[in-house]
Structure formats: C-alpha cells, structure tokens
Amino acid sequence: MNLVVDLLIAVAFAFAISIGAHYTGACMGMPYAAGAIRAGPALLLMAPLALLGAALASESVESTVGHGILAAPSVALGLALAIVTSALILTSAYNFLTLPTSTIQILVFSTVGVGLAAGLGVDWHTIGTLLTLWAIAPFAAFALGYLFVRVADRVRPPSPRAAALGRTAVFGLVGVGAAASFAMGANDVSNATGAFVMTGVFPLVLAAIVGGAGLAVGVLTWGRPLLQRVAFDLVQLDGRMATCSQLAQSTVVLVSVAFGLFTSLNQALVGAMIGTGVARGQATVLWKTVRGILTGWALGPVSGLALGFALGTGVLHAGPL
C-alpha cells in the first residue's frame, strides 16, 4: 500500500510540473509578446507566484476536484492513481505538441472515465455547471477583449509610430501577467493534487504546497516552448492588444473563481486574443493556428474520458490497490 501512495505522490508531482509548463503562455505570453519582459525573467517571476497562488488560494477548487466530481466519500488509491496518470499522459502529450489545451477539462473527464469504469457515481450537476462555464468563458473573454481594444482605441487612437511600450504599459502588462500567474496556481493546482484530497493522503494545505512546488518546477524547466507558442503564433499583437487580452482573460478567470468554479486559462486567453484581433481586423488573427488549438480543445475531454476509462478498467482487473 505504501508503494501505491509513493507512486501516487510521484505521478501527481510530475503532473503538476506538466501543468506549470503548460500554462506559461496563458500567464506570461502577453507581456512577453509585447516586449515588456524577456522570457527568462518572465518565467522567474511566474514560478513563485504560481506556488503562492496554490498555497494561499486553492481551497475551494481543491474541494471541487476532490469531492465534487465523483459522488463517493473517498476514492481508492489505485483509482486515484489512474485518474492522475491519465491526465499526466495526455497533458504531457499536448505539451510535446506545443498545443494549448485545458488540463482542467482533461482532468475532469479522466475522473469521469475512471468513475464510470469503477461503477462510482458521477455528480452530473457539477459536470453540467462546468460544461456551461467552459462554453461561455471563451466567448466572454472574446467580448471583453474586443470591447477593451475598441474603447482604448477610441480614447487614444493607435499610432504606428508608437510601437515602443512606455513605462506605465510595461508595468501594467507585467502586473497583469503576475496576477494571472497567481490565479493559475489557485485555479489549476487541484488538477494534480485533487487526488490527494480524494484519498486523504495529505491534508489540504500540504497537498496545495506540494502541487504548487511542482507547478513552479514546470514553469522553470519546461515552460519556454508554450510561452513562445501562445505569444507569437496566434495573433499579431501590439502592446495595447496584449494588455487588453491579458486583462480580459484575468477578468473571466477571477469572476469564475469568485463563484467557486474553475475554467481554462488558455481558452479564456485565446478567446480574448481573437477578440482583440477582430477589433483590429480579422487579418491579424492566424486562423490556421486557431483551428489547431480548437482541435486540441475538442480532443482533450474525449481523450481524457477514454483513457481514464481504460486505466480505471485496468486497475479493477489488477485487483485491489
């Protein structure tokens, strides 16, 4: 039994590393794309803020993942290991492909898949609420991104000569990216450590700290490719568009967290980026890249459900763990 606990901790920590890398672009992509901060300092700033967000502000989301998806008082260690392993495999695969997806959606549907394989009850009300939020969030971010750019351009029309960022814009962009990094820690650490809550392996605070440390390691060791992908391959951004995109994303995520829910940072950011691009003319949006990302979003939940079900079935056939 101790071996299974050790394996669960190791896999969950590895998953946290993968999550940290996966969301570098969603948190610091806009400041980096606009030239407000270089890649190295961006990652060095993001890592401790993600850890702090996990340690200080993740309790409600931990509770949702640990107790709100499966209608069971506790989950066997082997099944929890199957959930985290499924989510780790898929998130790592999408990281390798540098394709932004939602680790939240992958984790939730991996949990549902394992639950169905094990005959555990699924809280479909929670799933329905999350699906509704996930459907609305990118469009809300799109609308906010579009609105913010239109209002900003009306107040002060953009000038092609004003390409360089001023000091205020630099601090504003970096500040919003820092806030997004903290929010990511609070919003996403439970993807890795919710399994500890399901099984009672760790108390809540320790689970969050362990997961937050994994997020920070992932940011520092594997985050640069995703930072590059989101920053430069989706929308041709200027400083104002970058600021509006990050502000729209942060607004949507923080409103979701205020209601005790969690949504995808990547989906909110991409929706916001497209909104800012459309506000300036559709030619600024690289639609081929958008289609690839949309494909990743569609595959994430389906693949999570399938792999979770397969691994859950395998655990049941292997006997009690």
Q: Are 207 and 9 in contact (CB under 8 A)?
A: no
Closest CA to 184 of 243, 112, 269: 269
pTM over 0.95: no
In this structure, are residues 172 and 243 in contact, taking their beta carbons and an 8 Å threshold?
yes
Residue 299 in any domain: the answer is yes
Total residue count of the chain as it appears in this document: 321
CA diameter of the chain = 68
Alpha-carbon 59 to chain mean position: 17
Neighbours of 132 (CB within 10 A): 11
Query: What DSSP assignment string belongs to 199-233?
Result: HTSS-HHHHHHHHHHHHHHHHHHH-HHHHHHHHHS
| Number of domains present in the structure of the chain | 1
Range of the domain at 281: 2-316
Tell me the residue ranges of DSSP E strands in 23-73.
Answer: none
Specify the residue for token string 């960022």.
165
Buried b (16+ CB within 10 A) or exposed e, 161-178: eeeebeeebbebbbebbb
The rounded distance, in Å, linking the Cα atoms of 182 and 129 is 24
Residue 76 lies in a domain: yes
321 belongs to a structural domain: no
Residue 275 counted as domain residue = yes
Do residues 100 and 25 lie in contact, with contact meaning Cβ atoms separated by under 8 Å?
A: yes
End-to-end C-alpha distance for the chain, whole angstroms: 7
Q: What is the pLDDT along the chain (321 residues), one digit of tens a residue?
A: 588 899 999 999 999 998 998 889 889 988 887 788 999 999 999 999 999 999 998 888 888 899 899 988 889 999 999 999 999 999 888 767 766 678 889 999 999 999 999 999 999 999 999 999 988 998 999 999 999 999 999 998 876 655 566 787 888 889 989 989 998 999 899 999 999 999 999 988 899 999 999 999 999 998 888 787 655 555 567 778 888 888 898 899 888 877 778 888 878 888 888 898 889 886 556 666 667 667 767 888 999 999 999 999 999 887 666
